[in-house]
Structure 1
């Protein structure tokens, strides 16, 4: 018997690739689900501020999208009404620092919930971040991420959709239903994945990796 020394992340990656291959073979409109918890994206400048000049974020585990990873490092979020401790940073660095929360989180912090696509932070609420080197006030950058589906251009052709299009998604299971207004995001850097936050995940009793159907 041959034993292979692989990490849990590598095993998850292998299973994910196998599932996506079977989906493509079947030619169906199903997509795996990724439920995103609250997290922080930082610029190079802000990484330096909290952890020291030229500090390299420490990968904790790989995420569903290629090159994206959760870090060992965390920061606290401080709003007008409350705070949330040890919110995980995601890498790599971004052009703009951004904090993604659920509506439930926003209410806890006392921050207006603004629905945006990731990266679209102009005119959004700010927040205070607390880390090893003290406090940093972001004047903008807090968003509730829009529901969206990552896919490659080949996936888009197969599904008959285009970048920026909004579709409906059918959820099966104990609390079945339809999510509307789901944004299609197309790039050959992406891997097929339906992204929702914890509020949507809980409302439909979704689980990580659960298959949902894009409705034409």
Structure 2
């Protein structure tokens, strides 16, 4: 699945511009028009990155950023502030609130895309263009292969996508509904219990030699990928 970016912006003319340029580069986008909607959407959709306007109705961008940083589910989500405020004190306030970067309006689409890619690279240091590394696990995205401690693991397409999502967010707990959205897609209707079937298959594959179980079940919450040092 392509990375999902939450655009939090209330300027009607700017939203289509942001959406068009990001989707043209292969990102998926969702939009929130005010601070309250931004907080709710970020917790429900778990985007890979948030573009957050400073001046928002209902809840300011600064307060949205602070609340996201206090929430365990969104604490590590990269945030880029978008604002017309360009003074140094304002930039410092934005960064001190928890933002990863800061872009002053007006900005070029090329600058925006460069900042997005740079922040996402910093936020996921185990990710290169073609390889994911998470403890003992190594996923070659180009060759569609997975190894654990050098041993090749054979996965079906769905298990591969599921493991890729976990490796991109190690340690984070995802509910069945969140996994369905992120791995299968929001427009596909599948019973939530289907996730359990694929989790069992994934567990069997990566724990084939009675290795430590890397998939943690969190009662009433969901699943997470545990990391074991390589």
Range of TM-score over shorter length: under 0.3
TM-score of the superposed pair, with normalisation by structure 2: 0.24
* TM-score (ref. length: structure 1): 0.24
More helix per residue: 2
**Which protein has greater RCO, CA pairs closer than 8 Å, 6+ apart?**
1
